[in-house]
Structure 1
Amino acid sequence: MAQPVVLLGAGRRDSCDEFPLARIAAVRPVVLVDPDPPAWTRPYLAGHLTADPAREAPTTEAVLAYAAGHPVAGVLTWSRAHLTTAARITARLGLPGLPYETAAACADPVALRTLLHRSRLPTTGPRDEGDTPDAGNTGDARNTGESRNTGEARDGEGPLVSAETVVLDDEVRIVALTRTTPGPPPARSPLRHHVHAHDGLLHNRFLRTCVERTARALALTHTVAHITLRLTARGPRVLAVAPHLPGDLIPLLVERATGVDLATAAAALATGDQPDLTPTRQRAAAVQFAYPTVTGRLTHLHLDPAAEHDPSADHILLTRHPGDPVTAAPHADVTDRLARWVATGEDPTACEEALRRLARHLTVTVAPTPDVHAA
């Protein structure tokens, strides 16, 4: 039997963490470190350690004690809050993993920006994170570095693009690009994500150079990374770096669009193996999240079964239940999402059309309560 990987924290089912867990469990036994494993994780687990990954020292000792009698192949997490714990454990066990300093910087947005500035990498502040993307020619070099005559005010505008990156020993490989449409301020929670195997920005030298320099500045190695950039007239600006699998079903989108399985790649990297990054598809995939338009109590949520018969429908799930309190989109977070649906197609236009069709199958009723944010 293959040696297990230790996973620090399962995440949330409504944050789309079941897909990567299922994929990893298909290739390696998984031992979950969690105070109380959620019921949805249990079919995928080979074992469980009762510890809180947010408590670095006691969790490290618990995993080391387990590893003394049960050889561990690797350590994984997809939570920023658990990065330093994972780094400490891998260092103590001599397993592939992030340097502790890198994990600490990636877990702290202020420290991350400071480190990137030292390497002369352009960044953009968290206050700009959800600005409405420009729907223009984002595959054109004009949006990624050719034009440098505009002022800093432009840096808060432009599309959000995340590079789904695999960092090997001496190679930084962009596997796919995820384009994100944020919701309204102030929360700006993601409304949808798109991945296209033939995204024009995959060949843009300014973006590729920015991603490569970011990975090297942070000493990333043997990891999957989600590097978020804002495209501005002054060039790409680094917004965030998550040196772990992304959430929001982005690994599913990448697999459906390109055939590359980021989850199993992450497991391979954590165990010192070489991942298979060969593209086998050339399509597009997108996910959309439904948020309430009214703050109150959910009284009705229904998805017409006909949605499942749409030829582009890939994954549809209701994520809340009647009786739940919900918050309207301007202030909503991921826990307020009512449903999500994934569509695939030959190109982004086909996916957009499918997302709109699928949205028509959802009916929602919310009994409003006074909006505490209105004051």
Structure 2
Amino acid sequence: MNGVLLVIGSGLRYYREYLVTSIHRRAREAGLRLVLLNNLKPTWQSEYFDEIVLADVFDPAVMIAEARKVAEQKQIVGLMCWDEPLVLTAGELAAEFGVPGLGLAGVHGCRDKHRTRDLLTAAGLPQPGYAMTSDPAVAREAAVGIGFPVVVKPRALGASIGVVLARDESEFDAAFAVALAASEVDQGVYGAQAIVEGYADGPEISVDGAVHKGEYLPMFLARKESGEHPYFEEIGHVVDAADPLLADQSLVCTLARAHRALGIEDGITHSEMRLTADGPVVIEINGRVGGDLIPLLGKIATGIDSGDVLFDVATGQRPDIAPSKRSVAGIRFGLPAADCVVRSVTVPSVAEGLVTASPMVDPGTTLRLPPGGYLARHSFVVCEADDVPTCRRRLLDTSAMVEVDAQPIGPPEADAAFEMPAGLLDTDA
């Protein structure tokens, strides 16, 4: 075989195996070996990778050293990473190895939410007022200047962790404390900083798209359902292959301009936007495929396989993003009503339109809702239908069939340290 495709971080099995399956198939067809740098002893990954290197990839110095060892022994022709905490260093390695990637400007523009705001504002794209600080007094003054309501969030985390709405000045100090505490978990260059920004009111969507040599190619769009304010926990998503927003030139043009402003070269991005009364506003652009199984929804609804697209952009090829299906697919996550320890989770195996369902925690897992914890998901269900209303109904009906046995628990201690939820990181033992 000629050359190696290096993957950094496999991700959780139920979130990412469908991507790895397609990438493995394409690598075999191209005569490429697959090498994985991963932080845990392999289980399901062994079926797909020719070599697995165990290393603490969440330590940038370790990741860099191990990747360079692979490069010394093998010809790396492409590099992939879809785990948010690893994207920055992986992007820097792609640039070092001279293989297609987001580019140095692009990966920093995506990962650093403050830099994103700076670059999009400079490019003339509509943006809310914003400020970054770790000082509560400075943050409060900035919020008053921006005008309430405001959103406070960590500089570089994902999955809406630590993102809080403050509707007025009386709510601000508590909101800022939550965001700053979450930001301090990030030990990277963008940790321990929080951003205060004006609240862009309107429905929230996400768009997964490919970038080839700087050309932005939108693939599919998801309508997001979030939990109640002041937090932004993501409860579910629906992807409609026929969503009229995909033909909205204002939205597509905004996304293309935003990608150019950030300097993104090659890869897949997951862009989050708000549809305000004044037009679409980019909230953030992530330098990876979407989370929450959104790429799987995209494949079910449109036929576009994000694994195939990832392989193409990582190896310097222009991807084929033409849809081959016209359907609707959605996901809904099960969350507890209160903090608890899970005893068991049972999901349905048969339901109208059900594609797949799975528990997301093992017995004995503690689930905490914001602000004591995040991603307190015990299960998910994925359904398909011919239209959006039917898909949403099927998701609700199927979610109601999930059975959870859990023991309620009290709130965490006031001085308890914030811990990164397992659902965000590769902890699939």
**Which TM-score applies when normalising by structure 1?**
0.85
Query: CA 1:363–1:54 in structure 2 vs 1: closer, same or farther (change >3 Å)?
Result: closer
Deviations 1:151-206, CA, capped at 9 Å, x for gaps? xx995321111111111225322111111111123442110011001111112122
Distance apart, 1:9 and its partner CA: 1.6
Correspondence for 2:305: 261
List runs of 5+ in structure 1 lacking aligned partners: 133-152
| Contact 1:131–1:157 (8 Å) recurs in 2 | no
Deviations 1:48-80, CA, capped at 9 Å, x for gaps? 223333444553343233223322220011133
Bigger mean CA deviation after superposition, 17-26 or 275-284: 17-26
Q: Alignment partner for residue 319 of structure 2, among 272, 275, 295? A: 275
- Structure 1 residue 42 and structure 2 residue 82: aligned? no
Q: How far apart, in 2, do the equivalents of 1:286 and 1:247 lie?
A: 13
Correspondence for 1:19: 18
Q: How far apart, in 1, do the equivalents of 2:200 and 2:364 lie?
A: 39
Q: Alignment partner for residue 247 of structure 2, among 197, 203, 217? A: 203
Q: How far apart, in 2, do the equivalents of 1:170 and 1:108 lie?
A: 19
Q: How far apart, in 2, do the equivalents of 1:227 and 1:116 lie?
A: 13
Distance apart, 1:21 and its partner CA: 2.2
Correspondence for 2:408: 368
Deviations 1:216-274, CA, capped at 9 Å, x for gaps? 11121221111111110121111111121111101100001100111220111111123
Distance apart, 1:111 and its partner CA: 1.6
- 1:341-360 to structure 2, matched below 5 A, reads 341-360=381-400
**SS of match in other structure, 2:323:** coil
| Contact 1:172–1:215 (8 Å) recurs in 2 | yes
Q: How far apart, in 1, do the equivalents of 2:395 and 2:109 lie?
A: 37
Q: How far apart, in 2, do the equivalents of 1:122 and 1:274 lie?
A: 30
Q: How far apart, in 2, do the equivalents of 1:237 and 1:131 lie?
A: 18
- Structure 1 residue 111 and structure 2 residue 115: aligned? yes
- 1:84-163 to structure 2, matched below 5 A, reads 84-124=88-128, 127=152, 155-163=199-207
Correspondence for 1:167: 211
- Structure 1 residue 30 and structure 2 residue 28: aligned? no
**SS of match in other structure, 2:272:** strand
Q: How far apart, in 1, do the equivalents of 2:257 and 2:224 lie?
A: 22
Bigger mean CA deviation after superposition, 24-33 or 253-262: 24-33
Correspondence for 2:355: 314
Q: Which amino acid aligns with 2:263?
A: A
- Structure 1 residue 51 and structure 2 residue 55: aligned? yes
Q: How far apart, in 1, do the equivalents of 2:36 and 2:311 lie?
A: 14
- Structure 1 residue 193 and structure 2 residue 237: aligned? yes
Distance apart, 1:347 and its partner CA: 1.2
- Structure 1 residue 6 and structure 2 residue 47: aligned? no
Q: Which amino acid aligns with 1:112?
A: T
| Contact 1:186–1:331 (8 Å) recurs in 2 | no
In the alignment of these two chains, the number of paired residues is 350
Correspondence for 1:216: 260
Q: How far apart, in 1, do the equivalents of 2:288 and 2:269 lie?
A: 5
Q: How far apart, in 1, do the equivalents of 2:227 and 2:372 lie?
A: 10
Q: Alignment partner for residue 77 of structure 1, among 57, 81, 84? A: 81
Distance apart, 1:301 and its partner CA: 2.3
CA RMSD across the alignment? 2.6
Distance apart, 1:47 and its partner CA: 1.0
Q: How far apart, in 2, do the equivalents of 1:249 and 1:74 lie?
A: 23
| Contact 2:345–2:379 (8 Å) recurs in 1 | no
| Contact 1:181–1:193 (8 Å) recurs in 2 | yes
| Contact 1:8–1:34 (8 Å) recurs in 2 | yes
Q: How far apart, in 1, do the equivalents of 2:86 and 2:343 lie?
A: 36
Q: How far apart, in 2, do the equivalents of 1:329 and 1:41 lie?
A: 32
**Which TM-score applies when normalising by structure 2?**
0.75
Q: Alignment partner for residue 68 of structure 1, among 72, 84, 88? A: 72
Q: How far apart, in 1, do the equivalents of 2:11 and 2:266 lie?
A: 22
Deviations 1:4-46, CA, capped at 9 Å, x for gaps? 31111222346x1232223222222431112334533232221
Identity of aligned pairs, percent? Answer: 26
**SS of match in other structure, 1:96:** coil
| Contact 1:10–1:37 (8 Å) recurs in 2 | no
Correspondence for 1:149: none
List runs of 5+ in structure 2 lacking aligned partners: 28-32, 131-150, 154-159, 166-196, 416-429
| Contact 2:214–2:266 (8 Å) recurs in 1 | no
